[in-house]
A and B are shown apart, each in its own frame.
Chain A
Amino acid sequence: NAGVTQTPKFQVLKTGQSMTLQCAQDMNHEYMSWYRQDPGMGLRLIHYSVGAGITDQGEVPNGYNVSRSTTEDFPLRLLSAAPSQTSVYFCASSYSKGQALSYTFGSGTRLTVV
């Protein structure tokens, strides 16, 4: 089925380890983004990309890196994991057409840093 695929679904890291959360979409959307969701808070934007080769910071970018070498993929890298990065991470792709804006989210990656 078309959509946004995130891997892995669950991950436990030790403090200081690095890892990459994968995100792929097959809808040919130019715009992709990463959010994190913490208890009692809404989704907060980490990084986003408006097209291949273009990335920018969101609301909470510290400790994360992204790249966008293709339209389909937008990986999120944790450089040195910290307990504060324990969260659920959602990737999204979107497009806008006229007044309409359409977002599709992946099913999430639950990350625990110990």
Chain B
Amino acid sequence: DQQVKQNSPSLSVQEGRISILNCDYTNSMFDYFLWYKKYPAEGPTFLISISSIKDKNEDGRFTVFLNKSAKHLSLHIVPSQPGDSAVYFCAASAQSGANNLFFGTGTRLTVIP
């Protein structure tokens, strides 16, 4: 059963606008969350993370929001750029365990110039 879900398989956004990618999880033991970006024929590359002791983390154009009560997190990209076009994966980990990552199914973001 999928413990991390990304219900939107794709998203198209105009350049310069905000991209919002969503992720839901079911396991209340998850306490660390990461976003990865993936281009074709490459491995996932780390984008941004957040610990469950926070509800927001920013890094340049990227902000991740965590709502623990709703078991929901989102990634905001502002402003969106054509180079942001990729597949974005949400991942979660329970640090009380072996730090294994559980991934969502990914959202393909297309930024239209």
Contact = CB atoms under 8 A, between A and B. Distances in A.
Contact of A101 (B6, B32, B53): B32
B98 A56 contact: yes
Given A31-B98, A96-B99, A103 B105 contact: no
Contacts, number: 67
A45 B3 CA distance: 13
Interface residues of A, number: 28
Interface residues of B, number: 29
Given A50-B98, A105-B44, A107-B43, A99 B32 contact: yes
Residue among B36, B51, B101 with the highest chain A CB neighbour number at 10 A: B101
Contact of B46 (A40, A56, A90, A102): A102
Contacts of A56: 98
B42 interface: yes
A75 interface: no
Contacts of B9: 40
Contacts of B4: 42
Interface in B68-113: 89, 91, 93, 95, 98-106
A44 interface: yes
Nearest to A41: B105
A61 interface: no
A72 to B, nearest CB: 18
A94 B34 CA distance: 13
18 contacts: A41-B105, A42-B102, A42-B103, A43-B44, A43-B89, A43-B103, A45-B100, A58-B100, A90-B43, A96-B95, A99-B51, A99-B53, A101-B32, A101-B99, A105-B36, A105-B45, A107-B42, A108-B43
B22 interface: no
B40 to A, nearest CB: 10
